Amino acid sequence: MPTIFSRIVAGEIPCYKIAEDEKYFAFLDINPLAEGHTLVIPKAEGDYIFDMSDEDYSGLTLFAKKVAKAIEKAIPCKRVGVAVMGLEVPHTHIHLIPINKETDMYF
Ligand code: 5GP
C-alpha cells in the first residue's frame, strides 16, 4: 500500500510542487503553519529518517538546503525553520517553515 506521499509523487494526488530531482521531491504542506511551509521527501518509501543510508540522508538534507535557500528568496523571513516530526504520515519528510518574527512559535 503506497503512502499518501508516494501517491503525490506519482501524480495520483494533486500538490503544489516546489522542486524535484531524480530521488527527492518538495511540495507545499496542505495544512501550512506559515506561508511557504514545504515538505521535502525522498521518493523512495521509508518511515524513519535515521534509517536512511548515509548517502540518501546526505542527499535529502542537501536537497532540503537548496529548497530552503529558494524559499528564503521567495518569502521574506528571518530564517527557514526545520523540523522532522513524522507523527502523521509514515514516509520520511522534512518540514521547512519560514519564520517571520522573533515571537513566532509553532512547536
Ligand atoms: P507529520 O507526519 O510530520 O506530523 O506531518 C505530516 C504533514 O503532512 C502535515 O503537516 C500535513 O499537513 C501534511 N499532509 C498530510 N497529507 C497531505 C496531503 O495529502 N498533501 C499535502 N500537501 N500535505 C499533506
What is the per-residue pLDDT for 100?
84
User: What does DSSP assign to residue 1?
Assistant: -
Closest ligand 1 atom to Cα of 83: 3
Residue 64 Cα, ligand 1 centroid: separation in angstroms? 16
Q: What is the pLDDT along the chain (107 residues), one digit of tens a residue?
A: 999 999 999 999 999 999 999 999 999 999 999 999 999 999 999 999 999 999 999 999 999 999 999 999 999 899 999 999 989 999 999 999 999 875 565 54
Prediction ipTM score: 0.99
DSSP 45-106: --S-GGGS-HHHHHHHHHHHHHHHHHHHHHS--SEEEEE---SS-SS--EEEEEE-STT---
**CATH code of 88's domain:** 3.30.428.10
- Does 103 contact ligand 1 (Cβ within 6 A)? no
Q: Is residue 57 part of a domain?
A: yes
Question: How many folded domains does the chain comprise?
Answer: 1
* 106 assigned to some structural domain: no
Residue 42: inside a domain, yes or no? yes
Q: 105 in a domain, yes or no?
A: no
Provide the pLDDT for residue 60.
Answer: 98
Residues 96 and 82: beta-carbon distance below 8 Å: yes
* Structural domain of 44: 4-99
> Does residue 104 lie within any of the structural domains?
no
Residue 51 within a domain: yes
